[in-house]
């Protein structure tokens, strides 16, 4: 029996970390108030994360990226090719079974090119059936990767796919912080409507009432590429403990390789003042209890830092062509919201010096729109009701309409 609420099919693929999944679940929780939300989850589902109330999940055979940026099957029962084929059938079956009024696809075609083999069949099916009541939207973070060797070709391809298959783009950012065209530059101007929802962040209650301890916290999101940061943090902790008895908390992340996790476990036996967590259900409250934070600068980490108000140093992940975190970090630093350290300069001694300086740093008050989950829900409702999702030449912000 079909739900009395409109059905929304939400595709999310997290491949290296879990930031995309955290943002998708936050959006899904808000959307579930007005829609029957079915989440197509394409990566491993970490244990500390809870599925929001009212959201159904279809776990596809999980795929991920290794440190060499190669896609692989995370389920030993399937080869990469077999997993793709099973996922393609599952996605098409979900569409046929649920007959959604809204399809929300995270990141593609601005990223996730390696998943086109399972997403294009869905998009082509929707277009071929010509169901007038179906709306297809793209869900985007604030900043795109903009350092590919074939960047123009990539942007042109994404532009063509958006205009052919999508009704609108929802950028989860404050338009004053970052605009899509700053990291997306196709040859011709994108005609499909772009909407700015504000930033999306999980809500944790009563963090303002928490007392800050004289203790530094170090984290690396999901943790898959956090090894270098944690190794430098252990060296910095040894220096800072001997010099000033400054304790440290490390949050490894559920995807930190097991070998790196064992190194952290052994370190707690050797170093006094060191506390470690494999993973935690939410970071905002923990950040609010510490005097300063060291982390990378993924979307969700940045949002947690801003929400908690902690003095923060970020070491953006910059391996290969990944320039998104560095771009975000520079913008936040320019606003006086945090401090930055290039990954190439990271070592224990430099990190210890930076942490000492960080204790004197007071971040500016946040003046960015951070109500993206609620505003995304409202926007999807409005576009579905109006039936006119392609509003050419306009961009919508939380404060009104801005001409492009």
- When pLDDT is cut at 50, 70 and 90, the band that residue 60 belongs to is very high
Same domain, 190 and 239: no
Do 52 and 192 lie in one domain? The reply is yes
Residue 207's pLDDT band (cuts 50, 70, 90): low
Residue 205 has pLDDT above 80, yes or no: no
The whole-number average pLDDT for the span 289-305 is 95
| Whether 351 and 392 share a structural domain | no
Residue 391 lies in a domain: yes
Structure confidence at residue 71 (pLDDT): 86
Whether the Cβ atoms of residue 179 and residue 404 lie closer than 8 Å to each other = no
pLDDT digit string, tens, across residues 105-142 = 999 999 888 999 999 999 999 999 877 789 999 999 99
What confidence tens digit (pLDDT) does each residue in 339-379 have?
Answer: 999 999 999 999 999 999 999 999 998 889 999 999 999 99
Residue ranges making up the domain that contains 311: 207-358
364 domain residue, yes or no: no
Same-domain status, 287 and 328: yes
Q: What is the CA radius of gyration of the chain?
A: 21
CA atoms in the 13 A half-sphere facing the CB of 106: 25
Tell me the C-alpha distance between 391 and 215, whole Å. 50
279-283 long-range contacts, Cβ below 8 Å, gap at least 24?
279/46, 279/47, 279/48, 279/223, 279/251, 279/252, 279/253, 279/254, 280/48, 280/251, 281/48, 281/49, 281/50, 282/202, 282/204, 283/219, 283/251, 283/308
User: Do 122 and 245 belong together in one domain?
Assistant: no
- 365 domain residue, yes or no: no
Q: Are residues 178 and 211 in the same domain?
A: no
Is the residue at 61 inside a domain?
Answer: yes
Residue 349 located in a structural domain: yes
- The answer on 195 and 62 residing in a single domain is yes
Q: Give the total number of structural domains in the chain.
A: 2
The model carries a pTM of 0.89
Read off the tokens for 311: 């003095």
Number of other residues whose CB lies within 10 A of the CB of residue 76: 6
Using alpha carbons only, give the angle 338, 343, 349 rounded to the nearest 5 degrees: 85
- pLDDT more than 90, % of the chain: 72
Q: Which of 61-70, 82-91, 171-180, 220-229 has the weakest average pLDDT?
A: 61-70
Whether 242 and 5 have beta carbons less than 8 Å apart is answered as no
314 and 278 assigned to the same domain: yes
For residues 98 and 75, give the distance between their C-alpha atoms in angstroms, rounded to a whole number: 26
CA distances from 209 to 96, 269, 290, 291 (A): 48, 32, 13, 14
Q: Which residues face 57 on adjacent strands?
A: 39
Average pLDDT, integer, range 290-294: 97
Q: Are residues 42 and 161 in the same domain?
A: yes
- Asked if residue 73 is part of any domain, the answer here is yes
Query: Which pLDDT does position 390 carry in this prediction?
Result: 45
55 and 91 assigned to the same domain: yes
CATH number where 321 lies: 3.40.50.2000
Q: Determine, yes or no, domain membership for 32.
A: yes
Query: Got the DSSP string for 171-204?
Result: E-S-TTT--GGGT---SS---S-EEE--------
Q: Please, where are the H alpha helices in 166-314?
A: 227-244, 258-270, 284-288, 299-308
* 19 and 158, same domain (yes or no): yes
Asked if pLDDT for residue 404 goes beyond 50, the answer is no
Domain membership flag for residue 216? yes
* Same-domain pairing of 102 and 128: yes
């Amino acid at each position: 029996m079909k739900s009395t609420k409109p059905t929304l099919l939400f595709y999310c693929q997290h491949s290296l970390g879990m930031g995309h999944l955290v943002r998708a679940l936050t959006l899904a929780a808000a959307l579930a108030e007005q829609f029957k939300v079915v989440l197509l989850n394409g990566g491993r589902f970490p244990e500390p994360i809870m599925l929001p109330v009212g959201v159904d999940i279809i776990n596809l055979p999980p795929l991920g990226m290794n440190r060499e940026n190669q896609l692989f099957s995370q389920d030993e029962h399937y080869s990469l090719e077999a997993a793709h084929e099973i996922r393609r059938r599952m996605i098409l079956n979900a569409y046929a079974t649920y007959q959604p009024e809204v399809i929300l696809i995270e990141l593609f075609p601005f990223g996730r090119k390696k998943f086109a083999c399972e997403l294009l069949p869905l998009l082509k099916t929707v277009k071929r059936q010509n169901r007038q009541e179906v709306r297809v939207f793209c869900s985007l973070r604030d900043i795109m990767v903009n350092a590919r060797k074939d960047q123009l070709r990539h942007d042109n391809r994404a532009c063509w796919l958006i205009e052919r298959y999508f009704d609108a783009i929802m950028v989860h950012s404050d338009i004053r912080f970052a605009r899509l065209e700053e990291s997306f530059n196709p040859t011709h101007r994108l005609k499909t409507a772009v909407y700015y929802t504000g930033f999306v962040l999980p809500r944790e209650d009563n963090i303002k009432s928490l007392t800050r301890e004289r203790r530094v916290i170090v984290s690396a999101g999901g943790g898959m590429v956090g090894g270098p940061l944690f190794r430098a943090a252990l060296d910095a902790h040894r220096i800072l403990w001997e010099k000033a008895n400054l304790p440290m908390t490390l949050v490894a992340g559920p995807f930190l390789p097991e070998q790196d996790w064992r190194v952290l476990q052994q370190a707690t036996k050797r170093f006094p003042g060191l506390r470690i967590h494999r993973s935690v259900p939410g970071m905002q409250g923990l950040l609010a209890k510490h005097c300063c934070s060291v982390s990378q600068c993924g979307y969700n980490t940045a949002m947690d830092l801003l929400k908690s108000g902690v003095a923060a140093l970020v070491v953006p992940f910059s391996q290969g062509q990944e320039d998104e975190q560095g771009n975000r970090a520079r913008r936040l630093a320019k606003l006086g919201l945090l401090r930055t350290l290039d990954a190439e300069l990271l070592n224990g001694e430099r990190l210890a010096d930076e942490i000492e300086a960080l204790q004197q740093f007071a971040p500016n008050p946040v003046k960015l729109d951070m109500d993206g989950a609620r505003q995304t829900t409202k926007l999807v409702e409005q576009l579905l009701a109006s039936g006119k999702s392609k509003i050419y030449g306009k961009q919508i912000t939380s404060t009104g309409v801005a001409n492009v």
